[in-house]
Amino acid sequence: MSKPVDNAVSTVRTYIQNHRTAFLDDLAEWLRIPSVSAQPDHAADVARSADWLAAKLRETGFPTTEVWPTAGAPAVFAEWPSEDPEAPTVLVYGHHDVQPAAREDGWDTEPFEPVIRGNRLYARGAADDKGQVFFHTLGVRAHLAATGRTAPAVHLKLLIEGEEESGSPHFRDLVEAKAQRLAADAVIVSDTGMWSEDTPTVCTGMRGLAECEIELYGPDQDIHSGSFGGAVPNPATVAARLVAALHDEHARVAVPGFYEGITALTDQERELFAELPFDEERWLRTAKSTATHGEAGHTTLERIWARPTAEVNGIGGGYQGPGSKTIIPSSAMVKLSFRLVAGQDPEHIEKAVRAWAAEQVPAGIRYEITFGAATRPCLTPLDHPALQSVVRAMGRAFEQPIRFTREGGSGPAADLQEVLGAPVLFLGISVPSDGWHAPNEKVELDLLMKGVETTAHLWGDLAESWREAH
Amino acid sequence: MSKPVDNAVSTVRTYIQNHRTAFLDDLAEWLRIPSVSAQPDHAADVARSADWLAAKLRETGFPTTEVWPTAGAPAVFAEWPSEDPEAPTVLVYGHHDVQPAAREDGWDTEPFEPVIRGNRLYARGAADDKGQVFFHTLGVRAHLAATGRTAPAVHLKLLIEGEEESGSPHFRDLVEAKAQRLAADAVIVSDTGMWSEDTPTVCTGMRGLAECEIELYGPDQDIHSGSFGGAVPNPATVAARLVAALHDEHARVAVPGFYEGITALTDQERELFAELPFDEERWLRTAKSTATHGEAGHTTLERIWARPTAEVNGIGGGYQGPGSKTIIPSSAMVKLSFRLVAGQDPEHIEKAVRAWAAEQVPAGIRYEITFGAATRPCLTPLDHPALQSVVRAMGRAFEQPIRFTREGGSGPAADLQEVLGAPVLFLGISVPSDGWHAPNEKVELDLLMKGVETTAHLWGDLAESWREAH
């Protein structure tokens, strides 16, 4: 290792250490804003979150910060041009909205009252995604401090959307409308995770997502299960039979046409997955589960990273209160989501699911099926030079070899790739135990600071490798 | 028709007409008490309902009225001995508790604010069962007025329980403990219905009921369906698969052993059913449904009266709010009920369902199955002399031929039959459109008054036929 590298690492670390307290205070202030995009009564909070972030980015030094309205929740755009007009342009993507959360869901503390316990910061959004957006603010300042620059080595843009947890329904429109302002040579997505605290990794792909809700209507009102039971169709039974019919006996998705177009995993990809230090017992602990279950013929990592799924996220119908109520309920509903992999197209999946549902619902039951916004799957080529820059920057921060993973979750990265024609790279420091979408979501403070450190090194490395290539 | 009958009918009618307003005012007062036995926060209301009824029966003339506590909700007992020590003893059974009801379930008016619109009285309990209990009060007074008696022609007892809508969990114990006080030569159950407004009928049997709730537990908390989806079992999927596995492709219950011991319908019974003026379109309207669906090889009447069922009354798991939440839920639950017919034994059904559930639930899902109190099925012999008395009394009130039906619902009548060794007869005036257990429950006022009139004739007829037989 050459001296200049060591010096840079140490300068960056000192700078970060000196600004850590203020950084965490600011993040906590942001986390207190309950920017839940899925719940209409939080619309004002999502708007407040955007304004807060725009102001903070201005304070950080971005000369341009704008709140971009959409037909839904607003996004935040910021831009900080390099002094070198030949420098590459990098667009950072993240989101400032969060999943719903309520104390009674099982949180030990208020989800929107951030609290540090041990070396962890607990709050809804701590890891998904406010913490991982926020490390870019201190990161770019550390980059400037360590290099003596007054502007980043790359033309730096940020696009932080406000509807990711609602399936980014207006993101594609926004990106298309603002394509010129967003134009970039590479996209850095900071909305993913690493393998574990001990094994830093770079993610190379995300699954896509299609979601639908099916409402089923039987009798015009709840009717007596003694007087009528056994002679009319029960919408809760039909809801259950729909969910049961989603999978065959091998836990494969049984919707006809669902697997059409998928590129099968190569032997090399399966080997790469198999080489990771996967400990099923440990993984099950992070999954809060006691047994694995999934598509026959695939390992757990293949199932969560490279195979599509059908999952019921919610089901409801009839009497759910205390005691019993002997009724045939008048309605029932299911909320389904489908994770998609490279080769699958949300429009095709919607068509397939609609056709399948039409086959399943019997006479006497009326149904309505509604699809939300979909997210395409995406994959980054392993040999892309910008990916190598990310690996080097992480290596300096973590002082460990960086390995490769994929992400089972979904993000609108594929829209950016498609509309902007730029490769998508992933830089995330969250770990599976962070509890995304769950009670007691947290971020590991050590990893959060490694995220800051990585971005402090990344912009210089990217600018240099770009110069070499052009 | 002989003169004396006409006179009696006319005297009874005049008496009832003169007391109709006060009778309906009293009933409305009782209906205002929300005696919902399934909801613990209504326990005080159920107790208040019992006290109210006991006081009203005392006012009616019953020399003995008692509120009988149970381990759950209290029952009301009343006794009015005949002046003839040789007279038979008749026990009337009904219940003073009601199903849960809330305005937002779809009621046009407050469920516990009785209102008369047209010739109908709307309120929770109007038909099931307060209205049908209450016609016995004016009925016995009309009987005395028309016959010049100061006590009924039979030794009259009433047992009005407070837990019928919760599956009568303490009824059997109560009947066993009070068997001597309850001793009777016949039981009259007033908790059933008639064929229709135009076709008065006597019911000859009721289905039994076994109920259970199955709670299913997967991950210790809701987990992200992207990070973990496709690789761990989802308890909502398992709940749905349980419900789907309840029936085979012929809509027969698929729980092994479920049909064991059932006496098949005779050709004569099937013919009796087939002779009734069954209009499927009309029946579907009362069922608020648009198509029939049920066990292959059986008619709708056979399905609801003489065939056992498995029904899901409630299902729930995961996110049921607005928008979407991409989780694998941590738990799910189903509430199931099984209607039983003669030959089926609730204890055997519980055993069969437990064994079936154990087979269905996969590794990684923990479950708990809880059975509520069960109700046995029962059937009355068609040739019983007391049944003939009921038919004659109804005939005088309705001035129409009385036909025979069965009841798909369930009541603890079988316990009375078993413990007291007395035949069980059914006297009910409710019609299918009354909306038992549903929003906008009502009772037809004309039929309610026919119920009063029937009981005014019944006690004399029963006493006479008893004398002839003994």
Mean pLDDT by 10 residues, chain B (470 residues): 62 96 98 96 97 98 98 97 97 97 95 98 98 98 96 98 92 96 96 91 91 97 92 97 98 98 85 90 92 96 95 98 93 97 94 97 97 86 87 96 88 86 93 91 98 97 92
User: Helix, strand or coil for residue B314?
Assistant: strand
Task: Please indicate whether, in this complex, the C-beta atoms of A409 and B224 are within 8 angstroms of each other.
Answer: yes
Local confidence band at A2 (pLDDT 50, 70, 90 cut-offs): very low
Report which secondary-structure segment, H or E, holds B14. Answer: helix B3-31
Chain B positions in Cβ-Cβ contact with residue A241 (cut-off 8 Å) = 240, 243-244
Confidence of residue A6 (pLDDT cuts 50, 70, 90): low
Q: What pLDDT is stored for residue A4 in this prediction?
A: 46
CB contact under 8 A, B99 and A218: no
**For residue A299, is it within any domain?**
no
Does pLDDT of A320 surpass 70? Answer: yes
- Cβ-Cβ contacts under 8 Å for B311 (sequence gap 6 or more): A225, A229, A230, A234, A237, A326, A328, B336, B337, B338, B339
Residue A104: exposed, middle, or buried by beta-carbon count in 10 A (0-12, 13-18, 19+)? exposed
Share above pLDDT 70 across residues of chain A, in percent, rounded to a whole number? 99
Cβ <8 Å between A219 and B318: no
CB-CB neighbors (< 8 A) of A290 in chain B: 363-364, 366
Write out the DSSP string of B96-153.
--B----GGGT-SS-TTS-EEETTEEESTTTTTTHHHHHHHHHHHHHHHHHHT-SS-S
Element (H, E) at A89: strand A89-95
Q: Could you give the angle at which helices A43-60 and A3-31 cross, rounded to 10 degrees? A: 150
CB contact under 8 A, B166 and A40: no
Judged on CB neighbours under 10 Å (0-12, 13-18, 19+), B278 is middle
How large is the C-alpha radius of gyration of chain B? 24
Statement to judge: residues A224 and A363 lie in one domain? yes
The verdict on B288 touching A (C-beta cutoff 8 Å) is: yes
User: Domain boundary at A316, A336, A371, which?
Assistant: A371
- Which residues on chain A are in Cβ contact (under 8 Å) with B240? 239-244, 312, 315, 334
A300 touches chain B (CB under 8 A): yes
Domain-ending residue, one of A330, A356, A371? A371
Q: What is the pLDDT of residue B328?
A: 96
B222 interface with A at CB cutoff 8 Å? yes
How many angstroms separate the CA atoms of B273 and A198, rounded?
74
Contacts of A22 (CB under 8 A, 6+ apart): none
Selected for mutation to probe chain B from A238, A289, A333, A410 (highest B CB count within 10 Å) is: A289
Same domain? B132 vs B214: no
B323 to chain A: closest CA residue: A38
Nearest-CA neighbor of A438 among B324, B333, B219, B232? B219
pLDDT at A149: 96
Helix (H, G, I), strand (E, B) or coil at B208: strand
Helix (H) or strand (E) holding A136, with range, is helix A130-147
pLDDT tens per residue across span A163-175: 999 988 899 999 9
pLDDT higher than threshold 60 for residue A86: yes
Digit-coded pLDDT (tens) for B370-396: 999 788 888 887 778 999 999 999 999
Q: What residues of chain B lie within 8 A of the CB of A440, using their CB?
A: 221
Interface of A with B in 224-243 (CB under 8 A): 224-234, 236-237, 239-243
Specify the pairing of strand A186-189 against strand A89-95.
parallel
Question: Are the Cβ atoms of A287 and B339 closer than 8 angstroms?
Answer: no
Q: Mark yes or no for CB contact A230/B363 under 8 Å.
A: no
Q: Looking at the complex, does the CB of residue A297 fall below 8 Å from at least one CB of chain B?
A: no
Specify if B272 maps to a domain.
Answer: no
Same domain (yes/no): B50, B181: yes
Distance between A438 CA and the closest CA of chain B, angstroms: 5
If asked whether residues B186 and B53 sit together in one domain, one would say yes
Closest chain B C-alpha to A49 CA, distance in angstroms:
20
Instruction: Tell me if B224 and A317 make a contact (CB, 8 A cut-off).
Output: no
Average pLDDT, chain A: 94
| Three-class SS of B298-311 | CCHHHHHHCCCEEE
A432 domain-assigned: yes
Please state whether the peptide bond connecting residue B415 to the residue before it is cis, i.e. omega within 30 degrees of 0. Answer: no
Q: Looking at beta carbons, which residues of chain B come within 8 Å of A309?
A: 225, 229-230
Of A38, A226, A246, nearest to B323 by CB-CB distance is: A38
Please indicate, yes or no, whether residues B75 and B178 belong to a single structural domain of this protein.
yes
H helix runs in B319-444, sequence order: 346-360, 385-398, 413-420
| Contacting residues of A for B246, CB less than 8 Å apart | 237
Contacts of B192 in chain A (CB under 8 A): none
Q: Looking at residue B381, what is its pLDDT? A: 73
Give A142: exposed, middle or buried? Use CB within 10 Å, 0-12, 13-18, 19+.
buried
Residue with more model confidence, B407 or A153: A153
On whether residue A345 sits in a domain, the answer given is yes
**Portion 392-431 of A in contact with B at CB < 8 A:** 407-410
Within-domain flag for A295: no
| Nearest chain B residue to A220, by CA | B288
Helix then strand count (H, E) for chain B reads 13, 18
Pairing of strands A442-444, A155-161: unpaired
Q: Is A207 on the interface with B (CB under 8 A)?
A: yes
Q: Are B329 and B239 in contact (CB under 8 A)?
A: no
| In-domain check, residue B454 | yes
Q: Do B38 and A232 touch (CB under 8 A)?
A: no
pLDDT digits (tens, 9 = 90+) for A263-292: 788 887 888 889 899 999 989 998 999 999
Beta bridge partners of A210: A338
Domain of residue A84: give its range: 3-206+378-469
Q: How many domains does chain A have?
A: 2
Which residues of chain B from 88 to 117 reach within 8 Å of chain A, CB to CB? 99-100, 105-106
Do residue B304 and residue A337 have CB atoms under 8 angstroms apart? no
pLDDT tens per residue across span A333-363: 999 999 999 889 999 999 999 999 999 999 9
Residue A60 lies in a domain: yes
CB contact under 8 A, B289 and A233: yes
Do A202 and A212 fall into the same domain?
no
Answer yes or no: do B25 and B171 share one domain.
yes
- Chain A residues closer than 8 Å to B219 by CB: 287-289
Q: Which residues in chain A have Cβ-Cβ distances shorter than 8 Å to B38?
A: 321-325
The Cα–Cα gap between B465 and B387 comes to 11
Q: Which residues of B touch A219 (CB under 8 A)?
A: 287-289
CB pairs under 8 A between A and B: 371
Same domain, B197 and B72: yes
Q: How many CB atoms lie within 10 A of CB A414?
A: 22
**Residues A304, B230: C-beta atoms closer than 8 Å:** yes
Chain B contact set for A99 (CB, 8 A):
325
ipTM metric: 0.76
Residue in B221, B226, B322 nearest the CB of A439: B221
Residues 126-145 of B with CB under 8 A from A: none
Asked if pLDDT for residue A411 goes beyond 50, the answer is yes
Q: What interhelical angle do A43-60 and A130-147 show, nearest 10? A: 10
Whether residue B214 contacts residue B239, with contact meaning beta carbons closer than 8 Å, is answered with yes
Residues A450 and A331 in one domain: no
Task: Kindly state the tokens that stand for B252.
Answer: 């027969």
C-beta of residue B235 within 8 angstroms of C-beta of residue B406: no
User: To which H or E segment does residue B241 belong?
Assistant: helix B235-244
Rounded to whole angstroms, the Cα distance separating B279 from B285 reads 10
Residues A361 and A452 in one domain: no
Question: B192 at the A interface (CB within 8 A)?
Answer: no
Which of A315, A319, A335, A216 lies closest to B290 in space, CA to CA?
Answer: A216
Residues 162-191 of B with CB under 8 A from A: 166-167
Which are the contacts of B204, defined by CB distance < 8 A and separation ≥ 6?
Answer: B379, B380, B382, B387, B404, B405, B406, B426
Residue A387 belongs to domain with CATH number: 3.40.630.10
- B250: exposed, middle or buried (Cβ count in 10 Å: 0-12, 13-18, 19+): exposed
Residues B192 and B397: their CA atoms lie apart, in Å, by: 17
The CATH number of the domain holding residue B339 is: 3.30.70.360
Q: What pLDDT is stored for residue A264 in this prediction? A: 82
Instruction: For residue A236, list chain B residues with Cβ-Cβ distance below 8 A.
Output: 243, 312-315
Closest-approach residue (CA) in chain B for A305: B227
Q: Are residues B213 and B88 in the same domain?
A: no
B residues 53-82 lying closer than 8 A (beta carbon) to A: none
Partner-chain contact B224 A319, CB within 8 Å:
no
Q: How far is CA A364 from CA A229, B285, B336, B413, B439, in A?
A: 14, 12, 21, 33, 20
Residue A267 lies in a domain: no
Give chain A's radius of gyration (CA, Å). 24
What residues of chain A lie within 8 A of the CB of B407, using their CB?
Answer: 226-227
B438 touches chain A (CB under 8 A): yes
Chain A residues touching B303 at Cβ < 8 A: 230-231
**Chosen domain end from A337, A354, A371:** A371
Instruction: Specify whether A80 is located in the same domain as A152.
Output: yes
Q: Are strands B115-117 and B120-122 parallel, antiparallel or unpaired?
A: antiparallel
Q: Is B404 helix (H, G, I), strand (E, B) or coil?
A: strand
**What gap in Å lies between CA B244 and CA B241, rounded to an integer?**
5
Whether residues B290 and A364 touch (CB distance < 8 A) is answered with: yes
Q: Do A223 and B323 touch (CB under 8 A)?
A: no
- Residue given tokens 């992400």 in the structure block: A407
Please, which residues 308-337 of chain B have a Cβ atom closer than 8 Å to chain A? Answer: 308-309, 311-330, 332-335, 337
- Indicate whether A1 pLDDT > 50: no
Closest-CA residue of chain B to A295? B230
* Residue B3: predicted pLDDT: 42
Reading the block at residue A187, the tokens are 């996209």
Burial of B294 (0-12, 13-18, 19+ CB in 10 A): buried
